[in-house]
Amino acid sequence: MTTRPKRILAIQNMEGEGFGRFERHLRQDGHDLAVLHAYRGEPLPLPEACDAVLVGGTPLAAYRWEEHAFLREEAAFLQRVVAAGTPCLGVCFGSQFLAHLLGGRAYRADRKEIGGYDVHLTEDGRRDPVLAGFPPRFPVFHWHGDTFDLPPGAALLVRGDGCRNQMFRLNNVVGVQFHPEVTVEDATEWTAAYGAELADVGKTREQVVAECRAIDPEMDRLAARLLDNFLAVLVR
């Protein structure tokens, strides 16, 4: 737990892709959380108005951000935020977008990952206080077809057996490829909205929801731990 409420900006980049467990945990802890719907053109604040920034997901490709006016504005905002030293936590597209903006590369992966998977701490991950209290191997929920190369100087904290780069940290920026924020309710809605993608991984809607439900208690615990660590370690 942190000692005082933080001013946290959560940038939502797609209708239906909110912050789930993250939002619930942050509000329960009394933080000042503002969810900004960037895809609707809502104006971004000044960087100094935030103690931390969360960057959410979208099916849009991070490597095609310049095609979208709201992402062009978001990119400029995030570059100012990072330069100011404000901690940023990006999820899925958010991790790819931050990696890309920091000099890495986002691109189409050679496979999709949808449903429940296990990932592993790297040696850097075992040492990083952002992951204090995490087991060496833990379950996560995935829904992505893109991936990223690490930005120069970044440490790989979590690796996967399929898409290798699952979490990185570069100074005040953390990128998480998997979806710690997704609830069973979110997964159910996504299987309806994006059901056509399930054939690519050979799964049914029922399987994906069941995989999310099976790991729900552990994901709940680890999502809260990740947020608490992130705020305690990086937010001053």
Residues noted as catalytic? 92, 179, 181
**CA pair distance 131, 53, nearest whole angstrom:** 18
- Contact status, residue 178 vs residue 146, Cβ threshold 8 Å: no
120 pairs with which residues across the strands?
Answer: 137, 159
- Contact status, residue 2 vs residue 231, Cβ threshold 8 Å: yes
Extract the tokens encoding 171.
């100074």
> CB count, 10 Å around CB of 36?
20
- Contact status, residue 78 vs residue 39, Cβ threshold 8 Å: no
- Contact status, residue 230 vs residue 89, Cβ threshold 8 Å: yes
